Structure 1
């Protein structure tokens, strides 16, 4: 196995500033191929900014991102072809139906229409959206919107899936179905990078994790290595700080 095959995403010296604030301040990270990799950190830690640079949505001030050996910012077309993206808060073409949106994503990736149509039907069935395929995305619930965005990210069979808060607003049954689909994708040789605030979910779902705070990686490795005999949540709080110990002011206590 070559280095490009062993490492799905290699991040080297990634920097991004917004005015005086360094949102990402020298991140180095290797994501192994075939891993389910969790990216966790407090609000404002730089997770979303990092993922946007990894996926070609935001140009870094400095640094390099390699997707299976392809430099995302030297050859963005080739790099983006290897990646499927579900970005938190990015608007969809919501005046299309769900079926049209996923087909359109397939066509944009360069596949022919019959293949795009076939894959769209497969994904809508897989995500329990077949009955809503003819409904405009603007009329979808938050959970349905998340699922149709995932379908659009997967339609071109990318080698790497990058998912920013994929389970936010998704009901427990749909979340379980999505987890099963993602684990099947990883077993088939794909790589998933997921950003989430839910430590229990990351601990149960991921095999690797990196903790980011103040724009840099505090610790990275397998989940067992990072949690170091504790729970991932307790280890996370220990690493990033900020926990307030106490029961709150007297006026909040009624007994």
Structure 2
């Protein structure tokens, strides 16, 4: 679903991302972890097309995002850590806009929209202007918009920020449901407890290099310690 090959990015003399390689499989939730300044955001920006890599290749459902640009963009939805969304329209209009962009059939729209609105408890607010939404409500509407599009790859940067515990639990269930349809989820988070519970595999990046990759059991086996993901992360990124 998502293949990263020898991906490299430099800022002047600084090597922000150094020839990293990993792949995200169909039906998999993949966690991308690292301390601040490790190269996470740079990598995500290259994947979604906001930054051009200096070297390497990014394939999204088989499409090269530097060559097959439009086709690649139709394969994913991106939910940033700070939801940037049109504020002078209603939540409902935003969801219809996402349906238009990703060509969701008209006969499926209302059922999908109502389903996600009910699950994330946003039905009473969907007809209000987004400018009046709290951060958590904006996060919910952006997540709903991404899920309605049913992308092959769902890319999320700190998706739980601003969500209350109940909404966080619901989002975890929705991500698992999304993957059950053969799609993939790639997300970055600082909440290691969430990553440990939710992710099938993780990659840990530090100073531009992938320093650990695999299931938690595989990583434990490589370092020879039966530790939590948090303890492993702290040890590897010292």
User: TM-score of the superposition, structure 2-length normalised?
Assistant: 0.92
- Equivalent residue, structure 1, for 2:168: 175
- Equivalent residue, structure 1, for 2:135: 142
Unmatched runs of 5 consecutive residues or more in structure 2: none
In the alignment, is residue 123 of structure 1 matched against residue 116 of structure 2?
A: yes
Corresponding pairs, count: 234
Unmatched runs of 5 consecutive residues or more in structure 1: 1-7, 242-255
Superposed displacement of residue 113, structure 1: 5.0
Q: 2-side partners of 1:72 and 1:142: how far apart?
A: 30
After TM superposition, the structure 1 = structure 2 runs for residues 86-101 of structure 1, keeping only pairs within 5 Å, are 86-101=79-94
Superposed displacement of residue 175, structure 1: 0.3
In the alignment, is residue 66 of structure 1 matched against residue 25 of structure 2?
A: no
Higher relative contact order (CA 8 A, sep 6+): 2
Contact 1:94 1:138 in 2 (8 A): yes
In the alignment, is residue 209 of structure 1 matched against residue 202 of structure 2?
A: yes
In the alignment, is residue 17 of structure 1 matched against residue 10 of structure 2?
A: yes
Q: 1-side partners of 2:173 and 2:115: how far apart?
A: 15
**1:215-236 Cα deviation digits (max 9, x unpaired):** 1211101122124421111111
Q: 2-side partners of 1:18 and 1:104: how far apart?
A: 36
Runs of 4+ in 1 over 6 A off after TM superposition: none
Alpha-carbon RMSD: 1.6
In the alignment, is residue 237 of structure 1 matched against residue 234 of structure 2?
A: yes
SS in 2 for 1:150: helix
User: TM-score of the superposition, structure 1-length normalised?
Assistant: 0.86
Q: 1-side partners of 2:46 and 2:145: how far apart?
A: 20
- Equivalent residue, structure 2, for 1:45: 38
SS in 1 for 2:103: coil
Contact 2:150 2:178 in 1 (8 A): no
Superposed displacement of residue 111, structure 1: 3.9
Bigger drift between 106-115 and 152-161 goes to 106-115
Superposed displacement of residue 72, structure 1: 1.4
